[in-house]
Structure 1
Amino acid sequence: MLSFGAKHIYLRALEAEDLSFLEHIENDEKLWHLSNTQTPFSNDILKNYLDNRHRDIFEVKQLRLVICKNEDNQRVGFIDIYDFSPRHKRAGLGIVIEQTFRGQGFAKEAINAISKYGFEHLDLHQFFAHIELDNFESIKLFEACGFEKTGEKKDWNYHHGQFYTEAIYQNIRHVH
């Protein structure tokens, strides 16, 4: 369990009982364009994913944690470290908060907690995030967590009958 200064949430490893919540989030068609998902995940695939949750971040180059509320341990979302590169000391960061819990500060606390974990325990130099330019809520969130826009990929993603430009955001640890 990780809190790293978060007051209202904590982050924890995936457990077998997270299967239905994982299925709910992963199979939400409204979110598919964010993860380049094209088809629903079967229960078996997600169970297999959970069965392999014990594998180390240095082996699989990713880590998914459940975001839970302190007050009642209720799951509110997931936060992912992906494309972890110990050699280059960087990793991608993705987050999804269940619709009913958005706008309550949980995402900001989770990003700040996982960033602290990455910088202090994984010896990362930076996190990066890819955010479509029309995703104003995510842009505002990541900027509030110290991420800066460093580039754009024009017409990068195609969904809903049109192309979308994706921005690259980075949070680089400056050690003095």
Structure 2
Amino acid sequence: MNLPKEQIQGNPLEPPVLIETKRLIIRNISLYELDSFLQYRNEPEVARYQSWEPNLDKAYGYNFINNLVSKKIGDPGNWNQIVWKLKETGQHIGDCALFVTEDAKQAEIGYTLATKFQKQGFATEAVSAIIDFAFNKLNLHRIYASCDCKNYSSFKLLEKLGFRREGHYIENIFFKGAWGDEFFYALLKKEWNYKKHI
């Protein structure tokens, strides 16, 4: 699909910075990220434990991002896609999905990182900053996440950040042609803030 240049670029001003960490700029997704978003999401190893197949096209990416750009991060009942960009180069390397529940007290979190940037602490840095923002700026009470039991890197990240494993679901999801198992994790604001101060 060939999209008009102005559609791909969207607003000439990128969304404002949400969070700045030592190595990353974190903000809401925009159509500026269309190509880089598709590039890493189409990596077979990145898509392996995700809900999509690694054959996403430009039309899919455009529609996916375009449905999110007007949504404010933290608005109840909405998914947000929060991108991570390297401070040094501006390169888009990953993203975090955040869904705040209708009562604005809880959120589900998920994350995706380009293969090239894995095992360098970027996911820990980004997800940690987003969790802190969710608890202490959005004033959420609880954040939860699920992951495939075979996705060792994902559940080890959650455990490193202080999430408790609250459940182990056996063959609860039919996923890419087979029944799969999932771990379910959660973290309370008081647990997070206590962990920060010890």
Normalised TM-score (structure 1): 0.85
- Tell me the matched-pair count: 174
Output the CA distance in 2 between the equivalents of 1:43 and 1:24. Answer: 10
Question: Quick check: 1:145 aligned with 2:191?
Answer: no
Question: Quick check: 1:73 aligned with 2:97?
Answer: no
Output the CA distance in 2 between the equivalents of 1:120 and 1:155. Answer: 35
Runs of 4+ in 1 over 3 A off after TM superposition: 25-35, 38-42, 158-162
Cα distance change of structure 1 residues 86 and 120 upon mapping to structure 2, 3 Å threshold: farther
On the 8 A contact 2:28/2:81 being kept in 1, the answer is yes
**Bigger RCO of structures 1 and 2 (CA < 8 A, at least 6 apart):** 1
Q: Provide the alpha-carbon RMSD of the alignment.
A: 2.4
Output the CA distance in 2 between the equivalents of 1:78 and 1:154. Answer: 28
Moved more, 29-38 or 68-77: 29-38
Counterpart of 2:38?
23
- Mind listing any 5+ residue stretches in structure 2 that lack a counterpart? 1-16
Counterpart of 1:108?
124
Output the CA distance in 2 between the equivalents of 1:68 and 1:108. Answer: 14
Output the CA distance in 1 between the equivalents of 2:23 and 2:62. Answer: 29
Output the CA distance in 2 between the equivalents of 1:160 and 1:65. Answer: 26
Q: Which has the larger radius of gyration?
A: 2
- CA drift of 1:137 comes to 1.1
Counterpart of 2:174?
158
Cα distance change of structure 1 residues 136 and 9 upon mapping to structure 2, 3 Å threshold: same
Report sequence identity in percent: 23
